[in-house]
A and B are shown apart, each in its own frame.
Chain A
Amino acid sequence: MCKTPDLLIPQIGVITDIRTETPDVKTFKIIGADGKKPFDHMPGQCAMLSVPGVGEAMFSITSSPTNDDGLLFSIKQCGTLTDYLHAMEVGSEVTIRGPYGNAFPVDTVLPGQNLLIIAGGIGLAPVGSVVRYVFDNRDQYGSVDILYGSRSMEDLVFFEEIEKTWRTQPDTKVHLTIDRAQSEWDGHVGFVPDYLKELSFSTDKTALVCGPPIMIKFTLDALLGLGFKKEQVFTTLELRMKCGIGKCGRCNIGSKYICKDGPVFRCDEIDALPDEY
């Protein structure tokens, strides 16, 4: 009897490139065993990466869907599996399954809009996929403001790409900040939500926010303080996941499963969820 394999069965992925972004973040390029991109995705979607015997976890896909030669994952070293991944070398195999979850509404809500993309730390990974997608389809969107902050200048991911590629895009401004002053840094110093208030953006924008939960909470407050409505703000939620397909129950919050109904939520939708993220 020939049956569709279960979705929990992954495919083999090969690590074909590893780039060190920061002292604890590396970007891995993964292709399928056949040399092709493992699957198509939309910005904001995630995939389950695993090393058998070590573990399996959900990671956001940071490359743009327009990138045909593989999937990129920017991964912070912070647990058993990510420790192991960081020690792996080009040519090593992992397993991959996905794509999972919904996406930022890049083809529905966002076209024609001015975009305000706000990220903290490794939170630039999921929205990085949006940024790259927008720049590959630049004429479909209005102005782009990117506000990105991290603990120190060494912790800014994609720094070279930001300076060389993102800053030079038409009608695009990049605003970087770091938490504490450093002698080699001549840019802004301070937390993302405070810098957001200083920059005092006009509300003719749609905001996409991603970062640590505490940063998201204060950033949302700051946006509302500037006059943004919750309907203009999209963010991502993260809870522990095992299956990725809304069955195992782990990422259940209210009536939603983050892996299947999220990870992207409009901020007014989050109000309907219990405060458990």
Chain B
Amino acid sequence: MLKIARENLPALFAAIADTAALYLPIRKGAVNYAQWSDGADVDLDTLKTIASPKDFFLPQSETLYTAALAGNKIQLEAEPFVDEPFVVFGVKGCDVRGIEILDKVYLSDPVDRFYEARREKGTIVSMACAEPQATCFCKSFGVDAANPAGDVVTWMADGNLFWEAQTEKGKKLTEMLSNLLTSAERSPVSSQQKDIRQKIDTLPYSVGLPLDQFKSERLLELFDAPQWDSLYRTCLACGTCTFICPTCQCYDIKDFNTGTCVKRYRCWDSCMYSDFTLMAHGNPRKTQKERFRQRFMHKLVYYPDKNDGEYSCVGCGRCVNKCPASLNIVKVIKSLGVNADV
């Protein structure tokens, strides 16, 4: 176990930024992950960034290739893969699990090479959640906010940042910072971990969500459940939930005409939108009910069916905070789980 005094963190950030682009929660009005530069308003106390850090591995928008057209001929140039190292700092346990869930999609056969390059070049420094909030329910999905995964795990306790490498990548970063980190006792961390776990057990959504009802044997039964008819009604189809969600993984592929060439890019998309499945001959998901249902069935039944029962929700609670119509996955789980006749 290593540590650095909290007031020395700017030196730590500067040292990391000397060798790699450093991204961490920065306050610019709201708190979101952004690139560190000297004087940035780093905010490690705000528990939840508005958006998840998935953007660093699956960017909201990225060019795939450029096509130059001349007469009836086309010249293609593939976008190079990310080749510069970067560090994402302060990632909470739920968001690290979110990236692991994206790994199952993008690193499974056939591997997405753009994503793979970012995962290889990126180092994740996670941070335990000293003050979990009422909207947190990561424990329901098996995430331990007191001991998150990541290449390095950190704890902010007693005026120090405690630091422990968990992977080879994490050890490399730690070695590079060895003149700033000093060895430390584990006891402040152990005591904070105990405190975090106790707090989490008192949170309203943290225990007792009836998740055991969501299993692939009940796929068709859950799909046809009458609860969907009422659950979806206040959904505005704004797509906020999908954009702030650390595990939403769907993308669109589109063209941007620069005037001299065409950039083909991919960008996040949302199954909540009516044109997501619109085809020349019609739309198989005709109303918001079907679109709303797709999002939650995918997270709670379809994805687990393909991935050894692991849900594609991490309990970060962003949708609880941000849905303008007060809809969220907790409501869906409670509604479909409690009324099930099993």
Q: A6-B78, A56-B253, A239-B279 are in contact. Are A93 and B72 (CB under 8 A)?
A: yes
A74→B78 CA distance, assembly (Å): 29
Tell me whether chain B's interface is mostly helix, strand or loop, or mixed: mixed
Of B64, B83, B279, the most chain A CB neighbours within 10 A belong to B279
B117 at interface, CB cutoff 8 A: yes
In the assembled complex, which residues on chain B have CB atoms less than 8 Å from the CB atom of A95?
67, 74, 76
B: contact size bracket: 35 or more
A32 to chain B, nearest CB (A): 13
Which residues in B have their C-beta under 8 angstroms from that of A78? 280-281
B208 adjacent to chain A (CB < 8 Å): no
Tell me which of B72, B114, B223, B249 contacts A249 (CB under 8 A).
B249
B201 at the interface (CB under 8 A from A): no
Contact A5 B220 (CB under 8 A): no
Interface string of B231-269 (1 = CB under 8 A from A): 000000000000000000111110101000010101001
Task: Give Cα distance in the complex from A238 to B216, angstroms.
Answer: 23
- Check A52–B255 contact: CB distance below 8 A: yes
Question: In the bound complex, what is the Cα–Cα distance between A4 and B294 (angstroms)?
Answer: 33
A interface footprint on B138-180 (CB within 8 Å = 1, 0 otherwise): 0000000000000000000000000000000000000000000
> How big is the A interface, by class?
35 or more
CB <8 Å contact, B112 and A6? yes
Q: State whether the Cβ of B110 lies closer than 8 Å to any Cβ in chain A.
A: yes
Give complex CA distance A78, B282 in Å: 11
B73 touching A276, Cβ below 8 Å: no
- 1/0 per position for B39-72, CB-CB distance to A under 8 A? 0000000000000000000000000110101001
A151 at the interface (CB under 8 A from B): no
Which among B76, B81, B105 has the greatest number of chain A C-beta atoms within 10 A?
A: B76
A55 close to B255 (CB less than 8 A): yes
Interchain CB contact under 8 A, A9 and B65: yes
Closest to A52 in B: B67
C-alpha spacing A5/B116, complex, angstroms: 12
Determine whether the beta carbon of B251 is less than 8 Å from that of A239: no
A212-B279 Cα distance, complex, nearest whole Å: 13
Q: Which residues of A contact B205 (CB under 8 A)?
A: none
Question: Given the complex, which residues of B lie within 8 Å of A242, measured CB to CB?
Answer: 251-253, 266
Given contacts A53-B69, A55-B255, A255-B305, A250 and B276 within 8 Å (CB-CB): yes
State whether the Cβ of B29 lies closer than 8 Å to any Cβ in chain A.
no
Cα distance A19–B83 when bound, in Å?
Answer: 46
CA A267 to CA B271, docked complex, whole Å: 26
Q: When the two chains form the complex, which single residue of B64, B106, B279, B306 contacts A240, counting CB atoms closer than 8 Å? A: B279
Partner of A10, one of B76, B223, B297: B76
B285 is an interface residue with CB less than 8 A from chain A: yes
- Whether A276 contacts B251 in the complex (CB less than 8 A), given A91-B72, A95-B74, A252-B294, comes out as no
Assuming the contacts A52-B74, A93-B73, A243-B253, asked whether A82 and B280 have C-beta atoms less than 8 A apart, the reply is yes
Q: With A247-B105, A274-B223 as known contacts, state yes or no: A4 contacts B113, CB within 8 Å.
A: yes
Contacts of B220 on A, CB cut-off 8 Å? 272, 274
Which residue on B lies nearest to A12, using beta carbons? B74
For residue A84, CB closer than 8 A to chain B, the reply is no
Is B21 close to A, CB under 8 A? Answer: no
Nearest chain B residue, comparing its CB with the CB of A50: B264
Give the contacting residue for A8; candidates B216, B266, B281, B305; CB below 8 A: B266
How does the 8 Å CB contact mask read for A1-45 relative to B, with 1 for contact and 0 for none?
Answer: 101111111111000000000000000000000000000000000
Knowing A53-B257, A249-B250 are in contact, say whether A255-B264 is a contact too (CB < 8 A): no
Judged by a CB distance under 8 angstroms, whether A200 is at the interface is no
Task: Determine if B19 is an interface residue (Cβ-Cβ < 8 Å).
Answer: no
The 7 closest A-B pairs by CB, nearest first: A249-B250, A52-B67, A6-B113, A92-B72, A255-B305, A79-B280, A52-B262
- Known pairs A250-B276, A254-B223, A277-B284; list 15 more (Cβ under 8 Å): A6-B113, A9-B64, A9-B76, A54-B255, A56-B253, A93-B72, A95-B76, A240-B278, A242-B253, A247-B106, A250-B250, A252-B294, A255-B305, A272-B219, A274-B223
A-B contact pairs, 26 of them (CB 8 A): A1-B83, A3-B81, A7-B112, A8-B65, A8-B253, A10-B76, A12-B76, A52-B74, A52-B255, A53-B255, A56-B264, A212-B281, A213-B281, A242-B251, A243-B253, A247-B251, A248-B251, A248-B253, A250-B250, A250-B269, A250-B276, A252-B298, A254-B305, A274-B219, A274-B297, A276-B284
